[in-house]
Amino acid sequence: MPNDGVLIGIDLGTSSVKVLAVDGDGRIRGRAKHGYGMHRPSPGWVEQSPCHWWSAVRQALAELSQQVDLAHTAGIGLSGQLNGLVLVDDTGSPLADAPIWLDQRATEQSRFLSDNWTDAIHTFALGTPGPIHSLAKLLWFLDNAPELIANTHKLLFPKDFITLKLTNQYVTDVSDAGATLMLDLRQRQWAVPFLSELRIPLEILPTVHESPDVVGTITAQAARETGLPQGIPVVAGAGDMGALAVGTGVTTTRTACTTIGTAGHMALYCDTFPKHHEHGLWMMCHAVPGKYFWHGLVMTGGHCLAWFLENFGQAEKARASSQGHNAYDLLLDEAALVPPGSRGLLFLPFLDGAATPYHDSTAKASFIGATSHTDKATFTRAVLEGVAYNFRDSFELLTKLGYTVNEVQAGEGGSRHPLWPQIIAEVLGLPVNILSELDSSALGAAIIAGVGTGVWKDFSEATKLTIRTSKRIMPNPDHHELYTKQYRQYQRAYAALQPLYKD
* Burial (Cβ within 10 Å: 0-12, 13-18, ≥19) of residue 96: middle
**DSSP H or E run through 207:** strand 207-209
Q: What is the predicted pLDDT for the residue at 3?
A: 53
Domain with CATH 3.30.420.40 in the chain: 6-298+435-470, 301-430+475-501
Question: pLDDT digits over 348-385, tens only?
Answer: 999 989 989 998 889 999 999 999 999 999 999 999 99
Q: What is the predicted pLDDT for the residue at 285?
A: 96
Q: How far apart are CA 491 and CA 483, in angstroms?
A: 12
Q: What is the predicted pLDDT for the residue at 22?
A: 97
Q: What is the predicted pLDDT for the residue at 2?
A: 54
CB atoms within 10 A of CB 227: 15
Contacts of 415 (CB under 8 A, 6+ apart): 259, 260, 421, 434, 435, 438
8 A C-beta contact, residue 281 and residue 398? yes
8 A C-beta contact, residue 71 and residue 229? yes
3-class DSSP assignment, residue 190: strand
CATH of 301-430+475-501, one of 3.40.50.720, 3.30.420.40, 3.40.50.1820, 3.40.50.2030: 3.30.420.40
- Chain mean position to CA 363: 20
CB atoms within 10 A of CB 481: 12
8 A C-beta contact, residue 283 and residue 266? no
8 A C-beta contact, residue 281 and residue 275? no
- DSSP label at 92? S
Q: How far apart are CA 402 and CA 267, in angstroms?
A: 15
Q: What is the predicted pLDDT for the residue at 491?
A: 97
Q: Cα-flanking dihedrals φ and ψ of residue 410, to 5°? A: -120, 130
8 A C-beta contact, residue 289 and residue 212? yes
Contacts of 386 (CB under 8 A, 6+ apart): 304, 346, 347, 348, 349, 490
Question: pLDDT digits over 164-196, tens only?
Answer: 999 999 999 999 999 999 999 999 999 999 999
Torsion on CA atoms 119, 122, 128, 130, rounded to nearest 10: -80
Q: What is the predicted pLDDT for the residue at 411?
A: 87
- DSSP label at 367? E
Q: What is the predicted pLDDT for the residue at 5?
A: 84
8 A C-beta contact, residue 180 and residue 131? no
Low-confidence ranges of the chain (pLDDT < 70): 1-4
Torsion on CA atoms 97, 98, 101, 106, rounded to nearest 10: 90
* Alpha helix (H) residue ranges in 81-191: 107-125, 134-144, 146-150, 158-167, 174-178
Pairing of strands 264-270, 292-298: antiparallel
3-class DSSP assignment, residue 11: strand
8 A C-beta contact, residue 327 and residue 312? no
Q: What is the predicted pLDDT for the residue at 239?
A: 96
Q: Cα-flanking dihedrals φ and ψ of residue 274, to 5°? A: -70, 155
CB atoms within 10 A of CB 25: 9
**DSSP H or E run through 13:** none
| 359 residue type, one letter | H
8 A C-beta contact, residue 419 and residue 47? no
**CATH superfamily, domain at 6-298+435-470:** ATPase, nucleotide binding domain (3.30.420.40)
Q: What is the predicted pLDDT for the residue at 412?
A: 87
**DSSP H or E run through 344:** none
Q: How far apart are CA 303 and CA 283, in angstroms?
A: 24
**DSSP H or E run through 184:** strand 183-184
Q: What is the predicted pLDDT for the residue at 413?
A: 85
